[in-house]
Amino acid sequence: MAYLHGGKDQDELVMEYFRAREYNNEQWKQLIGEASPSFVNYVAGRNVTRMNHFVDPSTGLQPGTAHLFAAANGHLVKGNPGGTDVNRGDVAGWGGDIITFYAEWRRDSDANASGYTFVKNRLGKINVVSTFGLADLIEDADGFNIAMAVKGGLSVQQAVRDYYTTGELTKGGHLRRFRNYYNDRFKGSQASAIEIIREMLTDAGDGIIVGGRLYLIEMQIDGGSKLLPSMLPYNRLTEFCKGFAELLQEKAGQE
């Protein structure tokens, strides 16, 4: 299969297949590469029905496979950066979501002056209108955790099956999703999480990330370049980042 489909391994191709319908435009191709059209066509030619949603055994919610595997694909091909650095793989998952949510806050800031309060009221919730609900957060966490399991030697099929059943091979699977996510991606520290989130919102070292950030903000706000995170006073942006970091810490602590 790797030979027939551009030298990519089977796990990467499976992730690309699931994200291809929704996360394969020019921005995504620049971010983490094009989903293999030959493999997508190969699967389509075999009358395989794509599962677009599934029931999460922990919450009963129905996360989407396209977003989950877009996040997983990003983390698989770009890896887990060290320290408080971020990379393009992050943008494919939590990073893109927190940038979009930041833009939502700035768009609605006349009625929501505090970024910290806005996060507490709107991020990771159910039955609340938000660009970053609980299902999105689950997709981000699971995408990262599954990608790390695959990088650790499991096939994507083994990782997914174990993650949503026994969790014996995936550090507890869905029952420990937020604990593992917080510890492995955000260093298990609120201070580190704040700096990682800030880096995602302000880092200027990668032109693709910078361009993607502006694109996502302008999708929410006309003239979004006037409201970039780097233009906020340091303390105001810190409060926004702290809200997300605390949420991750709380979710981890509940497991």
What pLDDT is stored for residue 48 in this prediction? 85
| Domain spans of the chain, in order of start | 10-253
Q: What is the pLDDT of residue 34?
A: 96
pLDDT at res. 4:
55
DSSP code per residue over 76-137: HHH---STT---HHHIIIIIHHHHHHHHHHHHTTTT---HHHHHHHHTT-SSS--SS-HHHH
More confident residue, 220 or 200: 200
Give how far Cα 246 sits from Cα of 37, 101, 242, Å.
Answer: 40, 16, 6
SS3 for 242?
helix
pTM above threshold 0.75: yes
What's the mean pLDDT in 196-215?
Answer: 97
Judged by DSSP in three states, 247 sits in helix
pLDDT exceeds 70 at position 225: no
What does the pLDDT read at residue 3? 37
Q: Which residues pair with 97 in a beta bridge?
A: none
Answer yes or no: are the C-beta atoms of 156 and 11 closer than 8 Å.
Answer: yes
Spatial contact of 52 and 66, defined as CB atoms under 8 Å apart:
yes
Return the higher-pLDDT residue of 204 and 47: 204
| Residues contacting 5, CB < 8 A, separation 6+ | 13, 36, 38, 39, 42
Give the other-Cβ count within 10 Å of 238's Cβ: 18
- Placement of tokens 């993607």 in the chain: 212
**Mean pLDDT computed over 96-124:** 96
- What pLDDT score does 2 carry? 44
Overall average pLDDT of the 78-90 stretch: 96
Give the model's confidence band at 222: pLDDT under 50 very low, under 70 low, under 90 confident, else very high.
Answer: confident
The 10s digit of each residue's pLDDT in 21-36 is 999 999 999 999 999 9
CB-based burial label for 221 (10 Å; 0-12, 13-18, 19+): middle
Distance of CA 50 to the CA centre of its chain: 21
Give dist(CA 106, CA 100) in Å, integer. Answer: 10
Predicted confidence band at 81 (pLDDT cuts at 50, 70, 90)?
very high
pLDDT at 215: 94
246 confidence band (pLDDT: 50, 70, 90):
very high
Read off the pLDDT of each residue in 1-27 and give the average, rounded to a whole number. 84
For residues 197-214, average pLDDT: 97
The helix (run of H) or strand (run of E) holding residue 31 is helix 26-32
Would you state the structure tokens that stand for residue 76, as one six-digit string?
Answer: 């698989």
Region 93-120 average pLDDT: 96
Spell out the residues 6+ positions from residue 251 whose beta carbon is closer than 8 angstroms to its own.
124, 137, 178, 182
> Looking at this protein, which amino acid is placed at residue 246?
E
Q: How far is CA 166 from CA 145, 146, 196, in A?
A: 15, 14, 31
- How does residue 154 score in pLDDT terms, banded at 50, 70 and 90? very high
Check whether 5 has a pLDDT greater than 60: no
pLDDT band at residue 114 under the 50/70/90 scheme: very high
Q: What is the mean pLDDT of residues 155-175?
A: 98
Residue 245 has pLDDT above 70, yes or no: yes
Inform me whether the pLDDT recorded for 110 exceeds 60. yes
